[in-house]
Chain A
Amino acid sequence: MKITVCIGSSCHVKGSRQVVEKLKQLVSEKLLTDKIEFSGTFCMGKCQQGVCVSIDEEVFSVSPETCETFFETEVLKRL
């Protein structure tokens, strides 16, 4: 599975670094590092909905606060 986090300006100031850190932490806690690949992008064209995170092609709106819920409801169920 490929998770892409937008690190463009708009998402960056809404906390994309914290989102990346949190997701990576959750992934390693659940011992999923082999199954999930992370990447960054500078824009997904949905700046209003940032922080934009995509799983394969599907885009989600995530924030540092909703990161954990997103991981449980969207990431884990797709594995």
Chain B
Amino acid sequence: MRKFDTKVQHLKYKVLREVAREAWKGSLMENILDIPKIISPGKTPTMRCCVYKERAILSERVKIAMGGDKDNPNVIEVIDIACDGCPAGGYEVTSSCRGCLAHRCEDVCKRGAISFDNNHVAHIDKSKCVQCGQCAKVCPFFAIVNRKRPCQIACKVKAISIKDDLTAEIDNKKCIQCGACVYQCPFGAITDKSYILNAIELIKNSENNQKYKVYAVVAPSISSQFSYAKLGQVITGLKELGFFTVVEAALGADMVAQLESKELAEKGFLTSSCCPAFVAYVKSAFPALLEHVSHNLSPMAMLAKYIKETDENAKVIFIGPCTAKKAEAQLEEVKPYVDVVLTFEELQALFDSRDIDITSLSEDILDNASYFGRIFARSGGLSDAVAQGLKEQNIDFDLKAVACDGIEECKKALLLKSKNMLDGNFIEGMACVGGCIGGAGCLTHGQKDKAEVDKYGREAFEKTIGDAVSILNKK
């Protein structure tokens, strides 16, 4: 039974769990200062130089678990004192250099950046080096390494820079909230703000769903999560937490697939609008292409809108793998429909804050969407669903989908489109590699996740988009 990929996630989870535990009891403000010591007790440090630094960082984590810096509009935040200021010098010669005779590194360097000292050991002149990496490739001892920060490697949109004090800084204009840096920072110094307190408050104030009803809208990538229990037990767990009912966001995906295939045929060219990080990227890096982004709401917002239209007493909490959804929920066009966004990490913390062991619960049912709505969770699924949408509605359109797996592939396709050189008429833009199952808010990421999503898709009661959506038709 492995709940998380890394110890950083586990630490973040512990903070969320303790904050949530106090919040349920209504004693958070009284006991807030004790939380760092609960997580890092005693005198022996386990993570940093001393327990005092550990606790200082934990205090910052508590703040972020409570919503973070209100003055910073970004949902992704750097914890300055947690940032280790990793080396970022680029190509460097390490002690593995044996001072050989061959000097392949020198020969391959077109800039003449490599020289040798009296011990014949190589040195790189930073003023000449252009970071091409050829020297590292040819060294028979692998003695040359490229020192780059994990956060900067993770951030494919180049939103992270280094401040004078060596801590990382996020450029909010470039950041697309995908959370790649959050997942990759080995020190857990970059993290997503949590709205777990808003969720708890919403549930508590509903007075057992009497004052209003709290709906959980759950992303289909849940099929690759909570693998230590059954999905049906997760659903029961959500109801134990106090949710009125649970609905699949994949039903919103079915609605999107039906509308988007029509929109595509009308316009002739379209990009998807499901992934908020992709849409944010188009806005910041390719504003001229914004007109081609589908005008549909995302599956999350589409379904939340439907829920609120059919039940005026509804509140909606979306639970998914995504940090960018937290930003999407703050957009003017989405705000009225989605009240809170949580990640799977945060859901695990919520379960444990109430000591709900989901493995001991009975199994409930979650079945609202079709196969096609459910496979939105993985790369290529949206394209398959649009193809199906065209087929089901007998729309004569020659679909040429370009399924972009990760933001780098999105960038390539958008660049080609901006030069009118793209061989395709539909861009499926997914910022995370693998699709939503690669999201930063997942508990775990594994090789079998895609297979899990497909399996979950095949288990859907409804086999076509039309059947899944027909039930929503009020007339």
Query: Among the listed stretches B163-171, B240-248, B318-326, B388-396, which one makes contact with chain A, having 4 or more residues with CB under 8 Å of it?
Result: B240-248
Q: How long is the Cα–Cα vector from A40 to B368 in the complex, in angstroms?
A: 13
Is B245 within 8 A of A42, CB to CB?
Answer: yes
- What chain B residues lie within 8 Å of A21 (beta carbons)? 470
- For residue A8, CB closer than 8 A to chain B, the reply is yes
Q: Is the CB of A9 within 8 A of B368?
A: yes
Task: Give how many A residues have a beta carbon under 8 Å from the other chain's beta carbons.
Answer: 16
Instruction: Name the B residues within 8 Å of A40 (CB-CB).
Output: 310, 471-472, 474
Binding site for A on B (CB under 8 A): 215, 235, 244-248, 307, 310-311, 364-368, 461-462, 467, 470-472, 474-475
CB A6 to nearest CB in B, in angstroms, measures: 10
Contact A12 B475 (CB under 8 A): no
**Chain A residues whose CB sits within 8 angstroms of the CB of B366 once the complex forms:** 9
CB distance from A74 to the nearest CB of B (A): 20
Contact between B367 and A42 (Cβ–Cβ < 8 Å)? no
Residues of B within 8 A of A38 (CB): 474-475
* Chain A residues whose C-beta falls within 8 Å of the C-beta of B475 in the assembled complex: 38
A42 to B303 alpha-carbon distance, docked (Å): 11
Query: What are the residues of chain A within 8 A of B364 when measuring CB–CB?
Result: 9-10
Instruction: Name the one of B235, B246, B307, B471 contacting A12, with C-beta atoms under 8 angstroms.
Output: B471
In Å, the complex CA distance between A42 and B470 comes to 15
Per-position 1/0 for A30-58, Cβ under 8 A of B: 00000000111111000000000000000
Interface of chain A residues 45 through 77 with chain B (CB within 8 A):
none
Check if B474 sits within 8 Å of A13, measured CB to CB.
no
Instruction: Kindly provide the distance from the CB of A43 to the nearest chain B CB, expressed in whole angstroms.
Output: 4
Question: If A12-B461, A42-B247, A42-B307 touch, does A17 touch B472 (CB 8 Å cutoff)?
Answer: no
Q: How far is the CB of A3 from chain B (nearest CB, A)?
A: 11
Q: A17-B462, A40-B472 are in contact. Are A9 and B310 (CB under 8 A)?
A: no
Report the separation of the CA atoms of residues A39 and B462 in the bound assembly, to the nearest whole angstrom: 20
Q: How far is the CB of B249 from chain A (nearest CB, A)?
A: 13
- CB atoms of B471 and A20 under 8 A apart: yes
Name 27 interchain pairs, CB-CB below 8 A, sorted by A.
A7-B368, A7-B471, A8-B245, A9-B235, A9-B246, A9-B248, A9-B365, A9-B366, A10-B364, A10-B365, A12-B367, A12-B368, A12-B471, A13-B365, A13-B367, A16-B471, A20-B470, A21-B470, A38-B475, A39-B474, A40-B472, A40-B474, A41-B310, A42-B215, A42-B245, A42-B247, A42-B368
CA distance A38 to B472 in the complex (A): 10
CB distance from A73 to the nearest CB of B (A): 24
Q: Please give the distance in Å from A36's CB to the nearest CB on chain B.
A: 11
**Known contacts A9-B367, A38-B474, A42-B215; can you find 11 more A-B pairs with CB under 8 A?**
A7-B471, A9-B364, A10-B364, A17-B462, A17-B467, A17-B471, A40-B471, A40-B474, A42-B245, A42-B310, A42-B311
Closest residue of B by beta carbon distance from A16? B471
User: Which of A13, A17, A41, A42 gathers most chain B CB within 10 Å?
Assistant: A42
CB-CB nearest 6 A-B residue pairs: A43-B245, A9-B365, A9-B367, A17-B471, A7-B471, A13-B461
Task: Please tell me which one of the listed residues B244, B461, B472, B474 contacts residue A43 in the complex, with CB atoms under 8 A apart.
Answer: B244
